Amino acid sequence: MKKQSLGTIILISIYLIILTLIFWNWIREYSDFVDYHSNISGYNNYSFHSVMQTMALTSVFRLAIFSIPVAIGIFIRKQTGWILITSYLYFFTINSLVFLFENENISNWKSWAMLSIFIIVSVVLIILMTKSKIIQRFHKITNLNKTRLNLKALSIGVILSILLLEWKNHMLSLWL
């Protein structure tokens, strides 16, 4: 009985960390939007055009849009839920690495440290999602299909990352 309750605590802890990553992302993107918008159009001017221009130039809220299926996936007790969660973790890791390499002139060491911590946490969560027997039981994953599901999740994460980069580049070209 103690082993099962410990497993439940671990499962809840992992999913709370994932939800924390999602909410941190939403709060960060909203804060970025307010900062960028005040620099582009003046603080009190929230016209439709200026809001859309800010969103296009900054790629704000795109990661938040891609994180909605994860919140849903946490509550799905099937393989689909596991794929949604794990693909988001791959997506989050890839985009964090891309951001780190695109912004190699980040002068603020706190930003580097925070981003590095989030990359490490997401990699650890990917490992836990893949190795944890409690999570596998929760999502009804067998050892036989674990590799196939992991490849699906990785593929979805990579495709979403490519789509996000293309979306960012396309929207930027429309406004410039």
DSSP string, 34-69: HHHHHHHH-TT---HHHHHHHHHHHTTTHHHHHHHH
> Residue 158 contacts by C-beta under 8 Å, 6 or more apart in sequence?
90, 94
Q: Torsion over CA of 71, 76, 82 and 83, rounded to 10 degrees?
A: -80
Helix (H, G, I), strand (E, B) or coil at 104: coil
What sections of 42-142 are H helices per DSSP? 48-58, 62-73, 79-102, 109-131, 133-138
The 10s digit of each residue's pLDDT in 66-114 is 788 888 888 888 999 999 999 999 998 998 888 777 766 666 777 778 7
Residue type, 171: M
Report CA-CA distances (Å) from 35 to 103, 127, 172.
Answer: 18, 35, 18
Q: What percent of the chain has a predicted confidence (pLDDT) above 70?
A: 84
Question: Among all chains, which residue has been given the structure tokens 């704000």?
Answer: 60
Confidence tier at 156 by pLDDT (50, 70, 90):
very high
pLDDT at position 85: 92
- Among the residue ranges 52-56, 132-136, 164-168, the one predicted with the least confidence is 52-56
What whole-number distance in Å separates Cα of residue 129 and Cα of residue 125? 6
108 versus 146: the higher-pLDDT residue is 146
Residue 118's nearest CA partner among 17, 15, 9 is 17
